[in-house]
Amino acid sequence: MQILKMPCGAYATNCYIIKNENGDIVIDAGVNAFDFISKNSSDVKAILNTHGHFDHVWDNNIVKKHFKADIFIHKDDEFMLNDPFNQGFEKSKADFLISDENEFMINNLKFKFHHFPGHTPGCCMIELVGENLMFSGDFLFLKSIGRWDFPYSDATLMKQSLKRVMTYKGDFRLLPGHGDETSLRAEQRHLNAWLSYF
């Protein structure tokens, strides 16, 4: 297994490709991500969205149509696939709507969505089970956290989510939606300081 990364669009949103012998999986097909994906994969089986902001789902439908790939997103962010901010991207339809802590298999890889609302109603970290790895989307970054001042964001839920992730005992490699990778243990050390903002 190999993981490829490309920052895409004006917000340098990280698109990831999990290369797997039975077909590849994309995490967050953002602005112009199709070019990166099509150059590095000939067989995308699924697109997993950490959340529904336009810079993470912009090329969802282009990738879906080209590869006949399934789209997975938390049910609370499904509405964002219909471009509620009128950004002008091609709308997409989810094939699988995720509820809290759902686990599922794609081509012998197991994934688990960890629901951490606040940045968006359906914001998640997506665990690649058995690999001590999470795609943290816009929930946790290197020495930072996701914003909670956007439309549909919720500061109260963000605070609850931060407190919840502080209780996680194991360590995970974190591949975020923007910027460089970090680890859960490293970011847990900063969370009390972030909680003081609420």
Report pLDDT for 100.
Answer: 75
pLDDT tens digits along 32-91? 999 999 999 999 999 999 999 999 999 999 999 999 999 999 999 999 999 999 999 999
pLDDT tens digits along 101-113? 789 999 899 999 9
Query: What tokens were used for 45?
Result: 């089986």
CATH code of the domain in which 40 resides? 3.60.15.10
**Across 116-195, where does the E strand assignment appear?**
124-128, 133-137, 140-141, 144-145, 173-176, 182-183
Identify the residue whose tokens are 């789209």: 71
Query: What tokens were used for 25?
Result: 């999986």
Do residues 134 and 126 lie in contact, with contact meaning Cβ atoms separated by under 8 Å?
Answer: yes
DSSP-derived 3-state class of residue 163: helix
Between residues 16 and 99, the one the model is more confident about: 16
Give this prediction's pTM: 0.97
Domain ranges, residue 28: 2-195
DSSP-derived 3-state class of residue 105: strand
The rounded distance, in Å, linking the Cα atoms of 145 and 64 is: 29
Task: Count how many domains the chain has.
Answer: 1
**Contacting residues for 158 by C-beta, under 8 A, at least 6 apart:** 117, 118, 119, 145, 146, 148, 198
The rounded distance, in Å, linking the Cα atoms of 43 and 68 is: 9
